[in-house]
Structure 1
Amino acid sequence: MNDWIGHMKHLVGKERVVGFGEIGLDLTEPEKDWHHQFQLVDRLLPSLKLRHVLVVHCRGMPGDSSTATIMLLLHRMKSVSCIQRMHLHCFTGDSYVVEKWLEVFPETYFGFTNMVERFDRHPQEAVTRIHESRLLLETETPYFPLPGNKWSSPNHIHRAARLLAEIRNVSVEAVLAATTENAIRLYGLRV
C-alpha cells in the first residue's frame, strides 16, 4: 500500500492534476476493512492542495441513507481547509447532511446519478433544497445501468438529468445547462 500511496502523492503533485480522489468511506465493504479506509483517508488528505477538487465517495451500509457515514467522514476531515472545493460524488444524503456539510465546506457540489430514482422523500427533499449552482450529474459508469443494459455509460447522463428534473420540477434542459456550467466552473474546464 505504501507504494500506491507514494505513487498517488506523486501524481497529485503534478500541476495539471485537477481532481483529488475519489476518497472516503464505503461501508458496503466488509466491516473488517473499514479501518483501512480510515487510514487511507488520513494518509492521503495531507497531500491535498487548494487547487484540487476533492472528490469524496461516501456510502453507508446496504439499505442505509448514508447520513451517519457522511457525518462521520465530515468529522474525520477536520484537517481540510474550509475553502476547499469538493465534489460529493454519488450523493445520497438528506437535507441535514447538505446543511451540515455546507456549513463546514461551503464550496461543495453534489453529484447525482440514476440512483435518485430509488430515493425516498428525505434525499428527494435534499435534491430540491440544493441550490442549482451546486448540482452535478454523474453516470458512475459502469454502475447503475439503465434497464436492459449490463453497464451504464456516459451517454446515460440524460436519464440522471431527467430524474433530477422531475424531483426539482424543472425542465431537463435547465438541469443539463446548470450542471454543465457547474462542472466547468468547479473543475476549471475549457469548452
Structure 2
Amino acid sequence: MAGLIFDSHCHYDDNAFDEDRYELLNKLLVDEGHVVDKMLHAAVDEKSSLFGIKTAERYVNYYTSIGFHPEYADDVPDNYMEILKTLYEKASATGKLRAVGEIGLDHHYEGYNADKQKTLFIDQVKFANEKGLPVIIHCRDATEECMGVLSELRPAGVMHCFSGSAETAEKVVGLGMYIGFTGALAFKNNKKAKRACEAVPLERLLLETDCPYMAPPPYRGERSDSSMIAETAKVMAEIKGVSAEEVLRATNENACRLFGIS
C-alpha cells in the first residue's frame, strides 16, 4: 500500500532535513522496499527552485516546480519575471518541471503587502497559463481575493494544504482544480477539513505532506516526511468510505493527471 504514495507537495530543502536529506530521500524513493512512488517539490523562491531542479536530476521519480511564495513578496527582486523565465529554461531542460508554485496570497501575518502579493500572484499565474503548466496555490486568510484571481484567470492546478470551508472547496473544484490535504486532515478536532474533504469528489483530491510540517497522528509534533502520508490516507479513506489503498491509488493517479506524468 505504501508504495502507492505520491507526495504532491514537499519541501526537502528545508533546514529540518540538513543532517540527513539525501539519506532520507534515498530511503523513501530508491532503496529496496522504498515506500514512496513519486514526489513533487514545491518551490518558494529562486534558491528553492534551483534545489528542486538539481534534485529532480538526481531522482527519477522526483519532480519539481518553480515560483515565488507570497510570504517572500517583499524580498522578491524587481526582475522576478526574468528570473522565473531563466528558472523555467533550466527546469525544462531536466524534463521534470511540472508546475508553477508555490504561489498565491498570504494575509496571515501583520505587515504584509497585499498589492505586491497580488501582482506577484497574477504575473505567475499568467506565466503558468502561457507555458501550459498547472499552479500550486497557497492561500491563507485571503480566500476571497485568491478565488477572485483564480476565477478570472482559470489556471489548472491545486489549492494546497486546504484549510477552507466545504463551500470554498466546491468552488475550487468547480473551477476544474484539485484540493490537496496534508496530515492536518487527521488532526482529531479538525472537523472543518473533514467536511471539506467530504465535499470533494475522490477524483479531485491530492495527498501531500508540506513536509517538514503538519505530521499526522501518531507522529504529530515530529518532523514530517512522505512516508507519513499512509496515515493521512487512512483518515481520508474513512471520510470517503473506501479503502486506504484506493485513496492512495486515486490520489496518485490524480496527481499524475494534473502534473502530466505518465
| TMscore range, shorter length | 0.7 to 0.9
**In the alignment, is the contact (CA less than 8 A) between 2:173 and 2:204 conserved in 1?**
no
- Distance, in Å, in 2 between the alignment partners of 1:163 and 1:56 is 23
Structure 1 residues 75, 156: closer, same or farther in 2, change over 3 A? same
Residue 139 (str. 1) matches residue 139 (str. 2): no
Paired residue type of 1:136 = L
Q: Which residue is 2:133 aligned to?
A: 52
Residue of structure 2 aligned with 1:114, choices 169, 183, 198: 183
Deviations 1:132-188 (A, max 9, x none): 110100010111135366411111111221221222232111110110111111111
Aligned to 1:87: 158
- Structure 1 residue aligned with 2:86: 10
The structural deviation recorded for 1:58 is 0.7
Residue in 2 that maps onto 1:100: 171
2: CA distance between counterparts of 1:144 and 1:75? 28
Q: Which residue of structure 2 lines up, in the alignment, with residue 25 of structure 1?
A: 105
**Are the counterparts in 2 of residues 139 and 160 from structure 1 also a CA contact under 8 Å?**
no
Name which of 176, 180, 183 aligns with 2:252: 180
1:160 maps onto 2:229 in alignment? no
Structure 1, 30-39 or 164-173: larger mean CA deviation: 30-39
Q: Which residue of 2 aligns with 1:64?
A: none
- Tell me the CA shift for residue 79 of structure 1: 4.4
- Contact 1:9–1:44, Cα closer than 8 Å, also in 2: no
Please say if residues 57 and 89 of structure 1, whose CA atoms lie closer than 8 Å, have aligned partners that are also in contact: yes
Aligned partners of 2:244, 2:125: CA distance in 1, in Å? 36
Check whether the contact 2:170–2:200 (CA below 8 A) recurs between aligned residues.
Answer: no
Aligned partner letter, 2:120? L
Shift of 1:111: 0.6
CA contact (8 A) 1:12 1:47 kept: no
Residues 109-142 of structure 1 show CA distances to partners (whole Å, capped at 9, x for unaligned) of: 1110111134643432221121111010001011
Q: In the alignment, what sits opposite 1:66? A: none
CA contact (8 A) 2:137 2:160 kept: yes
Partner Cα separation in structure 2 for residue 148 and residue 136 of structure 1: 20
Residues paired across the two proteins, number: 178
Name the CA distance, whole Å, in 1 between partners of 2:105 and 2:134: 17
Preserved contact between residue 136 and residue 157 of structure 2 (Cα < 8 Å) = yes
CA contact (8 A) 2:181 2:207 kept: yes
Structure 2: distance between partners of 1:148 and 1:109: 25
Name the CA distance, whole Å, in 1 between partners of 2:220 and 2:149: 40
The TM-score normalised by the length of structure 1 is 0.81
- Superposed displacement of residue 35, structure 1: 3.6
Identity %: 29
Taking the aligned partners of 1:29 and 1:160, their CA distance within structure 2 comes to 28
